Structure 1
Amino acid sequence: MHARAVAASTTALLGTAALLFPISPARATAAADGSAPLVIAHRGASAYAPENTLAAVDAAAELGIRWVENDVQRTRDGELVVLHDDSLRRTTDAEEVFPDRAPWKVGDFTAAEIARLDAGSWFGPAYEGARVPTLEQFLHRVDHHHQKLLLEIKNPELYPGIERQTLKVLGNEGWLDRPHRAGRLIVQSFSADSVRTVHELKPGVKTGLLGTPPVADVPAHAGYADQINTSHRSLSLAYVASVQAFTGPHGRPLEVFAWTVDDAETARRVTGYGVDGVISNRPDVVREAVGR
Structure 2
Amino acid sequence: MTDWPYPRWIAHRGAGKLAPENTLAAFRLGAQHGYRMFECDVKLSADGIPFLMHDATLERTTNGREMLGNAVSGVGGDHRWSALSLLDAGGWHSRTWAGEPLASLDNVARYCLQNGYFLNIEIKPTPGTEVQTGAAVANAAAALWKDAAVPPLLTSFQPEALEAARAAQPQLPRGLLLDSLWMGWLETALTLDCVALVCNQALWDASTVLQAKSAGFRALSYTVNDEWAAQRLWDLGTDGVITDRIDLFAPGS
TM-score, length of structure 1 as denominator length:
0.78
Task: Determine if the alignment matches structure 1 residue 271 to structure 2 residue 239.
Answer: no
Equivalenced residue count is 247
Contact 1:54 1:138 in 2 (8 A): yes
Q: Distance in 1 between matches of 2:48 and 2:163?
A: 22
**Secondary structure of the corresponding residue to residue 218 of structure 1:** helix
1:266 Cα offset (Å) = 1.4
Which residue of 99, 112, 121 corresponds with 1:151? 121
Question: Which residue pairs with 2:30 in the alignment?
Answer: 60
Distance 1:170 1:95 in 2: 30
Q: Work out the CA distance in 1 between the residues paired with 2:181 and 2:141.
A: 28
- SS where residue 96 of structure 1 aligns? helix
Q: How far is 1:135 from its partner?
A: 1.0
Of 242, 245, 248, 1:285 maps to: 248
Distance 1:231 1:101, change over 3 A: farther
Q: Which runs of 5+ in 1 are unaligned?
A: 1-25, 28-36, 247-252
1:197 is aligned to 2:197: no
Q: Which has the higher helix share?
A: 1
Q: Does 1:170 align with 2:141?
A: yes
Structure 1's 97 and 220: CA in aligned 2 closer, same or farther, altered over 3 A?
Answer: closer
Of residues 21, 46, 60 in structure 2, which corresponds to 1:76? 46
Deviations 1:230-249 (A, max 9, x none): 01122222211221111xxx
- CA shift for structure 1 position 67: 0.7
| 1:10-25 alignment, distance < 5 Å | none
Change beyond 3 A, Cα 1:62–1:178: closer
Shift of 1:124: 1.0
Equivalences for residues 209-224 of structure 1 within 5 A: 209-211=176-178, 212-214=180-182, 217-223=185-191, 224=193
- Which is greater in Rg? 1
Aligned residues of 1:267 and 1:286 also touching (Cα < 8 A): no
Q: 1:262 aligns to what?
A: 225
Q: Contact (CA 8 Å) 1:215, 1:239: kept in 2 or not? A: no
Structure 1's 264 and 157: CA in aligned 2 closer, same or farther, altered over 3 A?
same
Q: Are 2:197 and 1:228 aligned? A: yes
RMSD between aligned residues: 2.3
CA distance in 1 between counterparts of 2:139 and 2:56 reads 22
The corresponding residue for 1:4 is none
Q: Does the 8 A contact of 1:255 with 1:275 survive in 2?
A: yes
User: Paired residue for 1:20?
Assistant: none
Report the equivalent of 1:206: 173
| Cα-to-partner distance string for 1:200-234 (whole Å, 9 max, x where unaligned) | 33222111000043586414422311111101122
Partner of 2:149: 179
Distance in 2 of aligned mates of 1:153 and 1:270: 25
SS for the counterpart of 1:161 is helix
Residue number in structure 2 paired with 1:23 = none
Structure 2 CA distance, aligned partners of 1:54 and 1:146? 15
Per the normalisation by structure 2, the TM-score is 0.89
